[in-house]
């Protein structure tokens, strides 16, 4: 048996265990589940039908299954990166708006407080004069 | 004529305790009374010093960057019903005497935004390497957004209320200057470039945008350009 298939089997077992743990802890999101199921299906296909990877690689114009695997991995990483970048940007924008609101509200509150203090002081001065 | 009480000066400040009194005195002595200082989470006594002046102080609890500080200042000025907002650096690079020329096209309805340009009158003592980087940045802005401004990263700008309501600043860092140019192009905002003097001192060079920071700005601009 080729080493890649042994690695695939170990990886499939690890993923299945991970899924079961997450289901047990009720931490699994549907999208995540779909993603891991697709990975498992792909690995099973490669393991059961060794020619599948080679034929698929040739279909997409790659010389070997390994080249195809590397290119596919880069693509997946790039998609993850894009997703993370978007999420960070959204969070950063929300955080900025939050800081801005806190800063403006604090400034308005302190100016209202100052005005009240000035009004109170002038009131007291008027009372003293009377 | 435009009422001067509708003109607001926005000064983003981060650790500017040593020079901000000079900047505020220059503005106050030139008759500008609506001044908003946005202390961007300074760790020195910037806020304490600003409190001694009759200006509005807004304090970010944490350091967010000049773009976020400008956005906070603009939103606060809009709450105060400002008609024109002027963004002004806290490191002493900008001079109050340039403000009348900057706001004049907005008052005369010739533009909604005026962009200060240090290269038009060549009065600024711009260091050579900085000049090259700024010109390259301006060329990049032209390639990306089609606006040919020779000084896109000048912090001295005047923004009318109508333009401020259209412009959406999302960047927290120095790249907000490029973002304003992008917004001008996308939202077809009328703009004019006005000659201004940028005063380079050892302090302002030390405090201002670093050369290596320009690479960071370019990379962030590209990411935004690609990913939106």
For chain A, the domains span 1-48, 67-130
Q: Which two tokens stand for residue B24?
A: 């505020």
CB B227 to CB A107 under 8 A?
no
Q: Which of A82, A93, A100 sits opposite B227 (nearest CB)?
A: A82
Q: Which residue of A has its CA nearest to B66?
A: A96
**pLDDT at res. B132:** 80
Nearest CA to B120 out of B201, B180, B193 is that of: B193
pLDDT digits (tens, 9 = 90+) for A108-123: 888 777 777 777 777 7
- Is the pLDDT at A8 greater than 50? The verdict is yes
Cα distance between residue B172 and residue B150, in whole Å: 23
For residues B218 and A98, the model is more confident at: A98
pLDDT digits (tens, 9 = 90+) for A54-103: 888 888 888 888 888 889 889 989 988 888 988 998 999 999 999 999 99
Cα distance between residue B57 and residue B41, in whole Å: 12
Q: Which of B56, B72, B223 sits opposite A100 (nearest CB)?
A: B72
The HSE-up count of residue B56 (CA atoms within 13 Å, CB side) is: 28
Q: Which of B68, B223, B227 sits opposite A100 (nearest CB)?
A: B68
Number of inter-chain CB pairs under 8 A, A vs B: 44
Chain A residues with CB within 8 Å of chain B CB: 82, 85-86, 89, 92-93, 96, 99-100, 102-104, 106-108, 111
3.90.550.10, 3.10.129.10, 3.40.50.720, 3.30.450.30: which CATH number matches B4-227? 3.90.550.10
Cα distance between residue A114 and residue A103, in whole Å: 16
């Amino acid at each position: 048996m080729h080493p890649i298939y042994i690695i695939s089997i170990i990886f499939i077992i690890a993923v299945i265990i991970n899924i079961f743990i997450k289901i047990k802890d009720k931490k699994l999101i549907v999208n995540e589940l779909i993603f891991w199921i697709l990975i498992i299906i792909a690995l099973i296909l490669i393991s059961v039908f060794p020619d599948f990877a080679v034929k698929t690689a040739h279909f997409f114009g790659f010389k070997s299954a390994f080249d195809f695997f590397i290119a596919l991995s880069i693509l997946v990483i790039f998609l993850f990166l894009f997703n993370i970048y978007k999420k960070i940007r959204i969070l950063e924008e929300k955080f900025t708006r939050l800081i801005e609101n806190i800063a403006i509200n604090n400034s308005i509150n302190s100016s209202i407080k100052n005005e009240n203090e000035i009004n109170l002081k002038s009131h007291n001065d008027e009372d003293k004069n009377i | 004529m435009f009422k001067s009480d509708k003109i607001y000066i926005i000064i983003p400040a981060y650790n500017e305790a040593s020079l901000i009194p000079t900047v505020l005195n220059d503005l106050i002595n030139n008759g500008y009374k609506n001044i908003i200082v946005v202390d961007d989470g300074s760790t020195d006594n910037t806020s304490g010093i600003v409190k001694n002046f009759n200006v509005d102080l807004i304090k970010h609890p944490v350091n967010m960057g000049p773009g976020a500080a400008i956005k906070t200042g603009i939103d606060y000025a809009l709450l105060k019903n400002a008609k024109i907002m002027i963004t002004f650096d806290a490191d002493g690079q900008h001079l109050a005497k340039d403000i009348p020329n900057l706001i004049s096209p907005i008052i005369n309805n010739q533009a909604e935004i005026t962009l200060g340009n240090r290269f038009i009158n060549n009065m600024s003592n711009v260091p050579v390497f900085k000049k090259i980087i700024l010109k390259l940045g301006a060329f990049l802005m032209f390639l990306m957004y089609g606006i040919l401004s020779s000084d896109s990263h000048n912090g001295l700008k005047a923004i009318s209320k109508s333009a401020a309501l259209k412009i959406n600043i999302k960047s927290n860092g120095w790249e907000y200057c490029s973002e304003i140019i992008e917004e001008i192009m996308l939202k077809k905002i009328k703009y004019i470039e006005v000659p201004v003097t940028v005063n380079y001192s050892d302090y302002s060079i030390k405090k201002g945008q670093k050369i290596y920071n320009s690479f960071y700005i370019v990379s962030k601009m590209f990411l935004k350009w690609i990913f939106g």
